[in-house]
Chains A and B, each alone.
Chain A
Amino acid sequence: MSLDLATTRRIAKLARIGLEENELEATRQKLNGILGWIDQLAEVDVTGVPPMVGTETETLRQREDRVTDGNCRDALLACAPETSGPFYTVPKVVE
């Protein structure tokens, strides 16, 4: 499969990475080079093979349903680039 410019633009939009128009073509070529190489996977027969999710070395556990962490609002907010009181700030999203 090969990527066209419109698909490249759509992926960048989905990934929320603001590419300039003049960066799109170079990005398309880079990704296409990798995709061409990846296409060799088409020759592998996977009929009846289940997908491997994680490395399956441990089974998932259930833990006791109780609070074990928290009360660290200020420490977490301290990592934010902009805050206002006990809130993260973003540009206005509702007019």
Chain B
Amino acid sequence: MLTGLTLTEARAGLAARKFSARELAQAHLDAIGRLNTTLNAYITVLPEADVLASADAADARYAAGTAGIMDGLPIGVKDLFCTKGVRTTAASKMLADFVPSYESTVTANLLNAGAVFLGKTNLDEFAMGSANINSAFGPTTNPWKRTGDEATALVPGGSSGGSSAAVAAGMALAATGTDTGGSIRQPAAYCGIVGLKPTYGRCSRWGTIAFASSLDQAGPMTRSVADAGLMLEAMAGFDARDSTSSNRPVPEFHKAVGKSVKGLRVGIPAEYRAPGLPAEIVAMWEQGIAWLKAAGCEVVDVSLPHTRYGLTTYYIIAPAECSSNLARYDGVRFGLRKDAPSLDGVYEATRAAGFGQEVRNRILMGTYVLSAGYYDAYYLKAQKVRTLIKRDFENAFENVDVLLTPTAPSAAFAQGENMDDPVQMYLNDIFTVPASMAGVPALSVPVGLNDAGLPLGLQVIGRHFDEETVLSIGGALEAAAGFTHTPSIHAGAGA
């Protein structure tokens, strides 16, 4: 089954000429053709002729012995990365017809490594959301169903929900995501796949549509931990066009998977045992601790005292940066325009018509916390608390090599749940936001199913620029868990 392979398996099959890149691409286009009406994982599917032409070029490179590390591998691209000549919407009406004249650095790196793009995946508008319900192109549906309840549509998580659903359902071997407060890790957990948010600065932000610039970071969403390492190697690297890009060398991340974790110290943060945490999440966490102990890790209790302020701090800093970044959508330079008699009128009409409810609210919140008289009380205060959150991690990492926590406080929920109260929706990110605030790398690994048959993920958090230890620990969890479940909707079902 070509749509069920890992990147690593597909790469080996292509290198051994067991199948061609064209066959691999065609199998995925067929799967998308069958499933996308149901799942809505892609906003834009590339024309078949273009996809097959990329695949043919990859086949030629394999024949010539010049194949790159992602050569011939068909992947989805979150529709937040600008792709030259291919519509890039950010799932917003504002950019419904926007065709960039430039390629983002991350997608250019992937193309240089030989990747074959299948299309642009769905997301929450401008990456703001945790359920992929805030898309102007309609919600993405999770391919997983509760056991015995095929009728209830579940959310795939967000904001990279189209990417996670596509990878889980066999509509791409892997996909790119972006993570501002959990947007790679939480959808990966909800869809039973692997998601890695690298250290802030690992991947260039150039050409990725900005949400909150001090937090946004691109990363891979894959079917195995080794795949996440492989794909990050292709995505990462210094870029002079992003002033926050890191010029450290990019290691061969995938080689960290399978390395012994014996003697590594794993911290269990007391504050993540939130009151009301469901028993199934606690049980999965305990299981993960037992697996790592069995693999020879030393498990240590640690404290991150400012954890409970992570989300509130995030919901000041992220909207503040969002209100500033999204000021560029003015109806003049790109995207939607609504005419009005005055220039201010054009701005107001365009932005009212182009932005959905959640994006509008975040812009307004950000405008408020940055406005005269409130800046010190909200924004400056949040920046100071952010320092304390970062120090919590630095202190913990003096004693341990990684932290182990649940990725999310629940399994995937139904479309329509958690909709009325924004704070309830924001709580989905309670375990992922602190690592974003500190800029440290964090990985979600699927480790089991809950009683309703839905996947659960554990999160491994590491030191700045130490993705390798994170991947080693993730690999140990993956090996112990042996997670091979597939969702009820996937390309192989009924075939």
A85 contacts the other chain (Cβ, under 8 Å)? no
- Summed over the interface, the residue pairs from A and B with CB atoms below 8 Å come to a total of 165
Measured between C-beta atoms, what is the minimum distance from B374 to chain A in Å? Answer: 8
* Cβ contacts A25-48/B at 8 Å (1 or 0 each): 001001101110110110010100
How far is it, in angstroms, between the C-alpha of A11 and the C-alpha of B320 when the chains are bound? 13
Asked if B229 CB lies within 8 Å of chain A CBs, one says: no
Judge if B313 is at the interface, Cβ distance under 8 Å: yes
Q: Which of B200, B214, B309, B387 contacts A41 (CB 8 A)?
A: B309
Q: Using a Cβ–Cβ cut-off of 8 Å, how many residues does chain B contribute to the interface with A?
A: 74
Is B199's CB under 8 angstroms from A57's CB?
A: yes
Given known A-B contacts A15-B364, A17-B348, A61-B243, A49 and B337 have beta carbons under 8 A apart: no
Which A residue's beta carbon lies closest to that of B342?
A: A91
Q: Given B309, B340, B371, B387, which contacts A51 in the complex, CB threshold below 8 Å?
A: B387
The distance from the CB of B345 to the nearest CB of chain A, in whole angstroms, is: 7
Are A55 and B385 neighbours in the complex by a CB distance under 8 Å?
no
Q: Which of B347, B361, B438 contacts A16 (CB 8 A)?
A: B347
Residues of B contacting A31 with CB < 8 Å? 361, 364-365, 368
Nearest B residue to A10 via CB reads: B371
B386, closest chain A residue (CB) = A52
A58 B385 Cβ-Cβ under 8 A: no
- Complex Cα distance, B244 from A91, in Å, reads 37
Stretch at the interface among B128-136, B154-162, B375-383: B375-383
Residue B413 interfacial (CB < 8 Å): no
Q: By the criterion CB–CB under 8 Å, are B309 and A40 in contact?
A: yes
Known: A41-B313, A55-B438. A17 touches B363 (CB 8 A): yes
Among the listed A18, A81, A88, which residue makes an inter-chain contact with B352, where contact means beta carbons less than 8 Å apart?
Answer: A18
Cα A62 to Cα B113 in complex, Å, equals 29
Say if the beta carbon of B288 comes within 8 Å of chain A: no
Q: Are A27 and B351 in contact (CB under 8 A)?
A: no
Cα–Cα distance between A15 and B330 once the two chains are bound (Å): 11
Q: Do B332 and A88 have beta carbons less than 8 Å apart?
A: yes
In Å, the complex CA distance between A72 and B246 comes to 27
Q: Are A18 and B332 in contact (CB under 8 A)?
A: no
Minimal beta-carbon separation of B371 from chain A (angstroms): 6
Cβ of A12 under 8 Å from chain B:
yes
| Given A31-B361, A88-B332: A78 and B244 interface contact (C-beta under 8 Å) | no
Chain A, interface SS category = loop
Known: A11-B364, A16-B344, A57-B439. A52 touches B387 (CB 8 A): yes
State whether B323 touches A15 (Cβ < 8 A): yes
Structural contact, B384 and A80, CB atoms closer than 8 A: no
From B353, which residue of chain A is reached at the shortest CB distance? A18
Contact with B along A77-95 (1 / 0, CB 8 A): 0111110000011110100
Query: Which of under 10, 10 to 19, 20 to 34, or 35 or more describes the interface residues of A?
Result: 35 or more
Given contacts A44-B309, A57-B465, A81-B335, contact A34 B244 (CB under 8 A): no
The residues in A between 1 and 33 inclusive whose CB is less than 8 angstroms from any CB of B are 1, 3, 7-8, 11-12, 14-19, 27, 30-31, 33
Q: How far is B365's CA from A7's CA once the two chains are assembled, in angstroms?
A: 12
Given contact pairs A17-B351, A17-B355, A91-B345, A37 touches B312 in the complex (Cβ within 8 A): yes
How close is A31's CB to chain B, nearest CB, in angstroms? 6
Does A66 make an interface contact (CB < 8 A)? Answer: no
CB-CB nearest in chain B for A40: B312
A67 within 8 A of B: no
* Residues of chain B within 8 A of A8, CB atoms compared: 364
Within residues 297 to 354 of chain B, which ones have a CB less than 8 A from any CB in chain A? 306, 309, 312-313, 315-316, 323, 327, 330-337, 339-349, 351-352
| Known contacts A52-B384, A75-B101; 14 further A-B pairs (Cβ under 8 A) | A8-B364, A17-B360, A41-B382, A46-B384, A51-B383, A51-B384, A53-B214, A57-B201, A72-B101, A76-B101, A79-B334, A80-B332, A81-B332, A88-B333
Closest 6 CB pairs of A and B: A55-B439, A18-B348, A51-B383, A75-B101, A81-B337, A46-B384
A contact set with B: CB distance below 8 Å: 1, 3, 7-8, 11-12, 14-19, 27, 30-31, 33-35, 37-38, 40-41, 44, 46, 49-58, 60-61, 63, 68, 72, 75-76, 78-82, 88-91, 93
